[in-house]
Structure 1
Amino acid sequence: MSNTRRALFRSRWLPWALALPQLLVIFVFFYWPTGEAFYWAFTLEQPWGGGNAWVGWENFRNVFADTNYWNSVAASILYAAATTALAIAASLVLAMFVDRELKGSRGYCLALIWPYAIAAPAIGIIFRFVFDARSGVFSFLNAVSPGLWNPGLNGAQAMTMLVIAGAWQLVSYNFVFLLAGLQSIPRGLVEASAMDGAGPVRRMRDLQIPLLTPTLFFLVIINLTDSFTNSFALVDTMTAGGPAHATEIMVYRIYADGFKGLDYSGAAAQSIVLMLLVVALTFVQFRFVERRLHYK
């Protein structure tokens, strides 16, 4: 006989009353804005007011015909890929060191988790000062060779600065999952490989990383999605999309066109494209890549 207990409500309205606050939050902050975005993406506001007129796919055609938009797509892909690779690599190395239970490892663990609590605008301001060409840490490059470092004029340097800041923001999040994954690996396996003569690098490459594949797969998806959708604050505080649109990623371009250029319909169409891109990325990862992973 099963000992499983089930929660039963004598009143029919009580479960709905308990779920209503969450349902309202989902509707107000997800379904309603999504519906409004679809409405604006397929309509165009009349001059001097007077409501919106149905234009079908015209907004999407205008977006896809704009070369600057495709530049923002390329910048977004570059930023997301570089940020994800750097963040996961750095957090994996840090988790490996902390997992070895060296002296002071618990203190390092707490110190590595705390940065995740820092707001993105604050991170952007801090890194903007660090990479400042005149007074930041990197200003010594200009002392060696004047004009060598200037992210305000060099697009590649601005993107590099943005990628480092974005990766730093994600390291703490990745570190928690990777450390938990490392600690879930049976110690007997690690000790046996060490007794067979495998060094730390060999154990990491041939034993620990293969067993961390499900965790790494999860973090790749989360980091890519976060880089596409939650990087607005960093771009706004550090580069504002410049120089010459070099760091104008898709999420920032939506803001620039919608709130600065007042092209609400074009911005809505771009937001729909970004949403579909993230959905497609997640679908492809889970549908095709996950089949190649071994969880046991």
Structure 2
Amino acid sequence: MERRAYYRNKGLPWLLIAPQLLLVLVFFYWPTSQALYWAFTLEQPWGGGNTWVGWDNFLSIFHDKEYWGTVVRSAFYACCTTALSMFMALTLAVFVDRSLKGTRAFQSVYVWPYAIAAPAAGVAFRFMFAPEAGLIGAINDIWPGIWNPAINGYQALGMIIVCHSWLGIGYNFIFFLAALQMIPRSISEAGAMDGARPVRRMLDLQLPLIAPTVFFLLIINLISSFTDSFGLIDTMTEGGPFGSTEVMVYKIYFDGFKGLDYSGAAAQSIILMLLVVALTFVQFKWVEKRVHYN
């Protein structure tokens, strides 16, 4: 029999959820409404209010080849960071799940990167990958100019991908380890008795059983890659060199706050928001309903 909670004071439930509603209103609905207003209007050159321009801002973005280059770069960045972070986290979770020697001591250490702020990690990785110091500096002394992300866009983008992937390992590790520990030991033991090696048992037995966790983390990591890369890029490359590390979220900031194109930046933010909404829709409507344990 289903039980429901009833309040004699009808205003009490609204009072309890009022703080959360206020936070959502102030930090989501109000900025979204302002972005929509700016996206469909254009500020007068010398002030005096905004003029309604309809879809002109969006059409201008869609006809901009530089913007499409940013979209392709963002998709590549998201795929690389997601794949690298999930692969490393799954590998670590498998070793910890097997209770190999020393894994208990490192189990908590694996989670630490998730607690580090992205700008702080960006500063640390920028120092570690500096072409004139440390191991990289010694390599550059042997082969001058082989590594310099300040002038090489591919190296700069790779540096940010590695840093972003490292930050997400802890989060993915927790979910993977929890999913692996929910699998009955008898399944892995049966595979071992049949002669399957650890890698084969992982691919044929464990991975299919943790498919819901894998697809959940896939969507979450893709969303994070599209939206949470600003702090890293701003501290490590500032979108350079020559725009080679400028992804969608950073282009919104650059065009809006440095280029003072508020309407264009607002239109870009709406496009990014729709992309995140689409990924979330896939997560709730497709992944959670179609991917399940058998």
TM-score scaled by structure 1? Answer: 0.95
Alignment-mate amino acid for residue 281 of structure 1: L
Consecutive unaligned residues in structure 2, runs of 5 or more: none
Deviations 1:163-202 (A, max 9, x none): 1001001000000000000000001111111122111111
Partner of 1:152: 150
Structure 2 contact 114–170 (Cα < 8 Å) conserved: yes
What is the 5 A alignment of 1:257-296? 257-284=255-282, 287=285, 293-296=291-294
CA distance in 1, matches of 2:134, 2:242: 22
CA distance in 1, matches of 2:55, 2:252: 18
Deviations 1:143-181 (A, max 9, x none): 221111111111111111011001001000000000000
CA distance in 2, matches of 1:141, 1:16: 63
Deviation at 1:101, TM superposition (A): 1.1
Partner of 2:183: 185
Deviations 1:55-110 (A, max 9, x none): 11111122122222111111101100000000000000000011111233222110
Deviation at 1:288, TM superposition (A): 5.1
> Within the alignment, does 1:81 sit opposite 2:79 as a pair?
yes
Structure 2 contact 216–287 (Cα < 8 Å) conserved: no
* Structure 1 stretch displaced more, 229-238 or 286-295: 286-295
Deviations 1:20-47 (A, max 9, x none): 1111111110111001000000001112
Consecutive unaligned residues in structure 1, runs of 5 or more: none
Alignment-mate amino acid for residue 238 of structure 1: M
Deviation at 1:219, TM superposition (A): 0.3
- Identity value in percent: 62
Deviation at 1:5, TM superposition (A): 4.6
Partner of 2:59: 61
CA distance in 2, matches of 1:165, 1:83: 9
Partner of 2:231: 233
CA distance in 2, matches of 1:67, 1:101: 52
- Structure 1 99/246 Cα, relative in aligned 2: closer, same or farther at 3 Å? same
Report the secondary structure of 2:254's partner residue: helix
- Structure 1 286/5 Cα, relative in aligned 2: closer, same or farther at 3 Å? closer
* Structure 1 stretch displaced more, 226-235 or 272-281: 272-281
CA distance in 2, matches of 1:195, 1:169: 38
Q: CA RMSD in A?
A: 1.5
Could you tell me which of 9, 12, 15 is aligned with 1:14?
A: 12
Alignment-mate amino acid for residue 117 of structure 1: A
> Within the alignment, does 1:211 sit opposite 2:212 as a pair?
no
CA distance in 1, matches of 2:123, 2:134: 12
Alignment-mate amino acid for residue 11 of structure 1: N
CA distance in 1, matches of 2:288, 2:17: 33
Q: How many residues align?
A: 294
